[in-house]
Amino acid sequence: MAGRLGGALHIDSTAWGVLAFRASGGAHEVTEQLCTILVREQDGDGRVCMNRAHPGSYWPTPLAILAWQDSTASQVAQNRAVHFLLNTTGIHFPKSPTEPSAHDPNIKGWPWIEDTHSWVEPTAMCVMALRATGHGQHDRVREALRMILDRQLPHGGWNVGNTLVFGRELYPMPETTGAALVALAGEVDGSEVARSIDYLQGEVDRLRTPISLGWSLLGLSAWDRSPANGLALVERCLGNQDRYGSYDTSSLCLLTLGALADDSKAEKPLFRRLNSKSRPLVAAP
């Protein structure tokens, strides 16, 4: 799928498209076709990059794993991608006493781009993908869950992954908070993330853009704290395209998943309460 109508192939958009199309009850043949495209774009070592010319941009790999979850034809590719993630991490190092940042840089997660530090959102995506494929008890996943908790802001919420720098607490962001809450759901006690749920509940009504709203709805749903007006918020967000122009495919798909997060009639519920004991993220057909 293209990032925008008539545009070039975007790997992340294709993966998001599979997830949204499947969740809304789309035809299996269509999602299989899209999965085949993702398989075709996979590198030999299992990574799935934004662009073959930029092999370091492997952050869509967990998205592809989730997209392949319901595709029997993609199982070999999915296994390769899982193997890649389990054997890949960011740049980590012991915390020095003079370190200006408060978080522990030695706890492993996953980076956006090869050879850089691990951050919250790519780590949350990898946790979702690995839990969905039955690797929830793997050491890497357990460490990544610790890493996400370590990056939680003292007053609640997450940002890219910095808590305090030079003694100042930084601002939280709804999109990262939503992703972190999905990854942690079913894994940690509610008291550990209560302040972040409170933060997101306080924010969700004012969110007008698809990435923030989509992830917030998914995050709150994962903890059974969906707002009663979730669909109205989605409708308002869709209406804002008059103001911002058409949303890109990834944003639209994320918003769709947010809208369906609490819909019991959705064909295959996504990103609900993940279970580390191998409960598939996407139910088998």
Partner 1 sequence: MSDSAHEKSNEGLTRRQLLLVGAAGLAMGSGLLLVPKRYFRMPQHAEAFVAKVDHYQLDVANAITRGIAELGVSPQALKGKRILLKPNLVETASGAPHINTHPLVLRGAIEAFLKLGASAVMVAEGPGHRRDTLAVYEESGLADVLTEDHIPFHDLNYITGYDLPNAGRQSRLKTLTFPGLFREVDWVVSVAKMKTHHWAGVTLSMKNLFGVMPGIYYGWPKNVLHRVGIENSILDINATLKPHFAIVDGIVGMEGDGPIMGDPKRVGVVVMGRNLAAVDATCCRIMGIDPYQVSYLERADNWLGPISEKSIEQRGETIAAVRTNFKLIETIPAHRSLRLA
Q: Which residues bind partner 1 (CB under 8 A)?
A: 3, 7-8, 10, 12, 50-51, 53-54, 56-57, 59, 91, 93, 99-101, 105, 111-113, 115-117, 119, 121, 159-162, 165-168, 170-171, 173-176, 207-212, 243-245, 248, 250
| Category of 156 on φ-ψ map: left (φ > 0), alpha (ψ -120 to 50) or beta | left
With CA atoms as reference, report the closest residue to 88 among 138, 148, 16. 138
With CA atoms as reference, report the closest residue to 172 among 148, 191, 155, 192. 155
Report in angstroms how near the CB of residue 111 gets to partner 1 at its nearest.
6
- Residue 54's DSSP bridge partners are 51
Report in angstroms how near the CB of residue 1 gets to partner 1 at its nearest.
13
Residue 203 in tokens: 């924010």
With CA atoms as reference, report the closest residue to 2 among 18, 19, 20, 14. 14
Report in angstroms how near the CB of residue 118 gets to partner 1 at its nearest.
9
Instruction: Write down the residue that tokens 């933060």 correspond to.
Output: 199
Backbone angles phi, psi at 133, to 5 degrees: -100, 15
Kindly tell me which of 200 and 266 has the beta carbon lying closer to partner 1: 200
Kindly tell me which of 243 and 265 has the beta carbon lying closer to partner 1: 243
Report in angstroms how near the CB of residue 115 gets to partner 1 at its nearest.
6
Report in angstroms how near the CB of residue 173 gets to partner 1 at its nearest.
6
**Nearest-angstrom CA–CA distance, 191 and 188:** 8
Instruction: For 115-152, give the DSSP string.
Output: TSB--HHHHHHHHHHHHHTT-TTSHHHHHHHHHHHHTS
Kindly tell me which of 74 and 159 has the beta carbon lying closer to partner 1: 159
Report in angstroms how near the CB of residue 159 gets to partner 1 at its nearest.
7
Kindly tell me which of 70 and 121 has the beta carbon lying closer to partner 1: 121
Instruction: Write down the residue that tokens 């993966």 correspond to.
Output: 15
Kindly tell me which of 113 and 231 has the beta carbon lying closer to partner 1: 113
**Are 62 and 128 within 8 A, CB to CB?**
yes
Kindly tell me which of 226 and 251 has the beta carbon lying closer to partner 1: 251
